[in-house]
């Protein structure tokens, strides 16, 4: 019987601790970098709930424990983001913030490249307005 040798992104980047660092750094940057002000304005005053949901989502998306699904059901990302006006500017701010967060926590450049492509595609799918 063949052994499963597939390594998930979750395992490759360092599991729960790294996913937590990424979620923390993403929201620290969003909260402090003027370039992300419009993105920040779309979030509640306290970012803790958003941070926790991103952490839970990324855990499962990276191949680790599917915490978001366990707590909230299917992510239904587009439906959950529909109340927010998301255009190319908001998409680009989100992706830029995530790219900077991944770099800041020291994710491997090759891993960042793959993840950035996936993040862009997902963020682009969230767009629901022109511009």
Q: What are phi and psi of 2, to 5 degrees?
A: -75, 140
Domain limits, the chain:
12-125
Instruction: Express each pLDDT in 77-131 by its tens digit.
Output: 889 898 999 999 999 999 999 999 999 999 999 999 999 999 999 999 999 998 7
Which class is 12-125 in CATH? mainly alpha
Query: Which pTM was predicted?
Result: 0.92
Whole-angstrom distance, CA of residue 52 vs CA of residue 49: 5
Instruction: Express each pLDDT in 27-60 by its tens digit.
Output: 999 999 999 999 999 999 999 999 999 999 999 9
Do the beta carbons of residue 80 and residue 122 sit within 8 Å? no
């Amino acid at each position: 019987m063949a052994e499963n040798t597939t390594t998930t992104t979750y395992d490759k980047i360092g599991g729960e601790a790294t996913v937590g660092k990424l979620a923390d750094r993403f929201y620290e940057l969003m909260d402090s970098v003027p370039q992300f002000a419009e993105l920040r304005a779309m979030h509640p005053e306290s970012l803790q709930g958003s941070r926790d949901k991103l952490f839970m989502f990324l855990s499962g998306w990276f191949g680790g424990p599917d915490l978001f699904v366990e707590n909230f059901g299917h992510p239904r990302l587009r439906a959950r983001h529909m109340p927010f006006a998301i255009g190319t500017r908001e998409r680009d701010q989100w992706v830029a913030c995530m790219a900077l967060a991944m770099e800041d926590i020291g994710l491997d450049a090759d891993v960042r490249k793959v993840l950035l492509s996936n993040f862009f595609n997902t963020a682009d799918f969230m767009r629901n307005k022109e511009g």
